[in-house]
């Protein structure tokens, strides 16, 4: 699986550190994130931004007002939504 011109530009800085082959492995990889709360939100943001090809998130909870001060993927309009749906929307915007 090769990287597109856009991906080469997007991941340029990290490719300088670990090379194209490693970036291609990230693109082919799948990561399971259990929990879309405080830690899961932050971790999934960085995994998506780094170019992990597929993220699977599991969390049965809905977004609550008390989550918003520490769960960076969830915003005020997300209150009452499933956390995984809220997270998916943001992560797809970050790195389609």
| Confidence at residue 22, expressed as pLDDT on a 0 to 100 scale | 95
Q: Tokens 């597109």 map to which residue? A: 4
In a domain, 17, yes or no: no
Q: How many domains does the chain have?
A: 1
In a domain, 25, yes or no: no
Cβ atoms 35, 59 nearer than 8 A: yes
> Which residues constitute the domain of residue 90?
30-94
Q: What is the mean pLDDT of each successive set of 10 residues along the chain, which is 96 residues long?
A: 91 95 96 96 96 97 96 96 97 92
In a domain, 24, yes or no: no
In a domain, 68, yes or no: yes
| Confidence at residue 53, expressed as pLDDT on a 0 to 100 scale | 94
| Confidence at residue 96, expressed as pLDDT on a 0 to 100 scale | 84
| Confidence at residue 80, expressed as pLDDT on a 0 to 100 scale | 98
Any idea what the CATH number is for the domain that residue 36 is in? 3.50.50.80
| Confidence at residue 71, expressed as pLDDT on a 0 to 100 scale | 95
């Amino acid at each position: 699986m090769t990287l597109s011109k856009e991906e080469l530009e997007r991941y340029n800085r990290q490719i300088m550190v670990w090379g194209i082959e490693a970036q291609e492995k990230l693109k082919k990889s799948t990561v399971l994130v259990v929990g879309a709360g405080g830690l899961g939100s932050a971790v999934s943001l960085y995994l998506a931004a780094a170019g992990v090809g597929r993220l699977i998130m599991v969390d049965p909870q809905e977004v609550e007002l008390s989550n918003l001060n520490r769960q960076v993927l969830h915003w005020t309009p997300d209150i009452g939504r499933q956390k995984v749906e809220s997270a998916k929307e943001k992560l797809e915007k970050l790195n389609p």
